[in-house]
Amino acid sequence: MNTLVIESEPSTRPVISRKMIATVLLLAVNTILLTWRARVLELTLERQSQEPELVQKPAPDFAAATLDGQTVRLADFRGQKKVVISFWASWCGPCRLEMPELVKFYKTNHKQNSDFELLAVSIDEDTKAAADFATSEKLNFPVLIHNKRWPALTASKVFPRYS
């Protein structure tokens, strides 16, 4: 009778080194920290995505001087015209790119009997810089000088993400 004998290697138990245990623990801790940071970021973004306080509400009234010395009040337009307010500065790159487009839009669409008005509020510290820019760009809409005492138009109410 023929007998088949299969020799097997003696069973060996896998050896787990301290280095391997430390690596697994380090990965677990990093995973927990990353998950926690991702959740904090998610909650922050959710909070920031809430609408600013003034959205869907009437803008607070304000009065400001134009470059030619006239006073413009937002209340003067209520019930008569829609008002677009552009906050800008002569040193602001995106503002400098936007202004020629606003000039073209205003020239094309605004007439004496238009149902809208565009007000450009300069936040320049130097009124001369605002005036020089308005002149060089031939701004054809009212340019107002930002009044630092406008508490209702603080950045935290209008632009909560940037305050």
Mean pLDDT (10-residue bins), the chain, 163 residues? 60 78 89 88 78 74 88 90 90 91 94 91 89 94 78 47 39
Report the pLDDT value the prediction gives residue 160, as an integer from 0 to 100: 44
Distance CA 3, CA 8 (A): 16
- CA nearest 124: which of 88, 149, 153? 88
Distance CA 83, CA 77 (A): 7
Report the pLDDT value the prediction gives residue 52, as an integer from 0 to 100: 66
Report the pLDDT value the prediction gives residue 155, as an integer from 0 to 100: 46
Report the pLDDT value the prediction gives residue 137, as an integer from 0 to 100: 93
Report the pLDDT value the prediction gives residue 147, as an integer from 0 to 100: 63
Report the pLDDT value the prediction gives residue 8, as an integer from 0 to 100: 59
- Long-range Cβ pairs for the range 76-85 (8 Å, 24+): 77/117, 81/114, 81/115, 81/116, 81/117, 82/115, 82/116, 82/117, 83/59, 83/116, 83/117, 83/118, 83/119, 84/116, 84/117, 84/118, 84/119, 85/59, 85/119, 85/120, 85/121
Report the pLDDT value the prediction gives residue 56, as an integer from 0 to 100: 77
Distance CA 89, CA 102 (A): 14
Distance CA 101, CA 81 (A): 21
Report the pLDDT value the prediction gives residue 99, as an integer from 0 to 100: 94
